Amino acid sequence: MNAPVKLAYSACPHDCPSTCALEVEVLTPERIGRIRGAKDNSYTDGVICAKVARYAERVHHPDRLMHPMIRTGPKGSGEFRQATWEEAMTAAVEGIQAAEREFGAESVWPYFYAGTMGLVMRDGINRLRHAMGYSRMYGTFCTSLAFAGYITGTGKLAGADPREMAKSDCVVIWGTNAVNTQVNVMTHAMKARKERGAKIVAIDVYRNGTIDQADMGLVLRPGSDGALACAVMHVLFRDGHADREYMAKYTDDPAGLEAHLQTRTPEWAAEITGLSVEEIEAFARLVGTTPRTFFRLGYGFTRGRNGAVNMHAAASIAAVTGAWQHEGGGAFHNNGAIYNWDRSLIEGLDAPKRHTRTLDQSRIGAAAAGHHPARPAHRWPWDRAPRRGASCAGGAEGGRSGLHTSRRQAAA
Ligand code: SF4
């Protein structure tokens, strides 16, 4: 009989909102085998995505880069030679020091983003930056728009517990192709469908795997999500599905919102979104008559120029219906602000040299060419105090207390 495979317990290293708990087969001290989702983690629930289930293929792939390489030919020639770590580190340090000597510390710009790095591996780079007085980076190319739009409404990057999707009667998966990129969303949404007969609505700018599995699929024009959301809220007010009592208690300007929406009819939105009036009416009716509607709002909102207002409008639907007050209802984008990390140690937020210029991550070309004006020091909100709780480089906690408030915040 074969000896039982030894298991190690870990967490997925990817910068993915699921943060799955993993069970890893340890075949030898140097080799891993299969990876499975932990069954005793109530969000992972034994399910992980295909790419991480087959992580061993990547970790042990013969083509994996295992050593530093130094270019020996002209750029683009692909000519490299293997170097030792010491040689590579020395070359990097000498290059940085030469730039500092000639142009000053701010000529060095540590530029990074996420991927397979956790808080220490990723944000520890900021500790070096702040200790040395290098230029800072405003992270703009991933989450900024969606975070800003969501926080504008809730005041905090936090929402309903995503496990509550399993207790929903309608799950709206908006701006994320969960079937392929957020498998855990589908785990809980499918549980709701199986056990409660919940409806699944998928909204995106192209027909994807999630729309194929949904009861209602809405394919709208890129950047037009806010128009759909406004028309939905118009119908909710028009047809008596707006929870006025909830709004009076927990939102800041329901009358102003209702007035604003007067002209945002389904006909108006149909012109903008490319959806039919019937589709918009049907979606509005479904969320208006289903108190336990859960809006799972994804990162698609960050990929267009109207991202922040689109996110704010979509999240506001849950405030108009009062879905937040029901278990299985409300909205969720990211719960980065619930952990209250003090990142001072990781990021060196108490370093005296940290108030340097800030460069926009999305404008690396212009910055490298010297055409991009830097933001002066003390310009960003997190300059005022050690940043707590934001989960991604582009995220920030705070914002005004706005249109919608979670029942948890309300209860607090
Ligand atoms: S879904 Fe995949 S990438 Fe995301 S946390 Fe789980 S295992 Fe990692």
| 47-102: pLDDT as tens digits | 999 999 999 999 999 999 999 999 999 999 999 999 999 999 999 999 999 999 99
Residues 310, 333: contact at Cβ < 8 Å? Answer: no
Q: What CATH number matches the domain at 6-59, 3.40.640.10, 3.20.20.70, 3.30.200.210, 3.40.30.10?
A: 3.30.200.210
Residue 35 CB–ligand 1 contact under 6 Å: no
Beta bridge partners of 385: none
Q: What is the pLDDT of residue 304?
A: 83
| Percent of the chain clearing pLDDT 90 (strictly above) | 77
- What is the 8-class DSSP label of residue 252? S
Helix (H, G, I), strand (E, B) or coil at 326: coil
Residues 287, 321: contact at Cβ < 8 Å? Answer: yes
Nearest CA to ligand 1 atom 4: 16
Spatial separation of the C-alpha atoms in residues 178 and 200, rounded to whole Å = 12
Full-model pTM: 0.87
Nearest CA to ligand 1 atom 6: 20
Nearest atom in ligand 1 to 182's CA:
1
- pLDDT tens-digit profile, the chain (412 residues): 567 789 999 999 888 888 999 999 999 999 999 999 999 999 999 999 999 999 999 999 999 999 999 999 999 999 999 999 999 999 999 999 999 999 999 999 999 988 888 888 889 999 999 999 999 999 888 899 999 999 999 999 999 999 999 999 999 999 999 999 899 999 999 999 999 999 999 999 999 999 999 999 999 999 999 999 999 999 999 999 999 999 999 999 999 999 999 999 999 999 999 999 999 999 999 999 999 999 999 999 998 879 999 999 999 999 999 999 999 999 999 998 998 889 999 999 999 888 899 999 999 999 988 887 776 554 444 444 333 333 332 222 222 222 333 333 333 3
Residues 180, 39: contact at Cβ < 8 Å? Answer: no
Spatial separation of the C-alpha atoms in residues 231 and 184, rounded to whole Å = 30
Helix (H, G, I), strand (E, B) or coil at 243: coil
Spatial separation of the C-alpha atoms in residues 395 and 339, rounded to whole Å = 14
Residues 39, 45: contact at Cβ < 8 Å? Answer: yes
Residues 205, 221: contact at Cβ < 8 Å? Answer: yes
Distance from the CA of 178 to the center of ligand 1, in angstroms?
11
User: Best substitution site from 19, 47, 49, 299 to test ligand 1's pocket, by max atoms within 8 Å of Cβ?
Assistant: 49
Q: Which residue has the tokens 């689109």?
A: 310
Distance from the CA of 21 to the center of ligand 1, in angstroms?
9
Residue 156 CB–ligand 1 contact under 6 Å: no
Can you give the residue ranges of every domain in the chain?
A: 6-59, 97-134+342-387, 145-335+400-411
How many helices (H) and strands (E) would you count in the chain? Answer: 17, 12
pLDDT digits (tens, 9 = 90+) for 123-142: 999 999 999 999 999 988 88
Residue 176 CB–ligand 1 contact under 6 Å: no
145-335+400-411 maps to CATH 3.40.228.10: yes
Spatial separation of the C-alpha atoms in residues 217 and 213, rounded to whole Å = 9
Q: Which amino acid is at 65?
A: L
Q: What is the pLDDT of residue 328?
A: 98
Cα torsion 225, 306, 213, 392 to 10°: value is -140
Which residue in 19, 332, 393 sits closest to 150, CA to CA?
A: 332
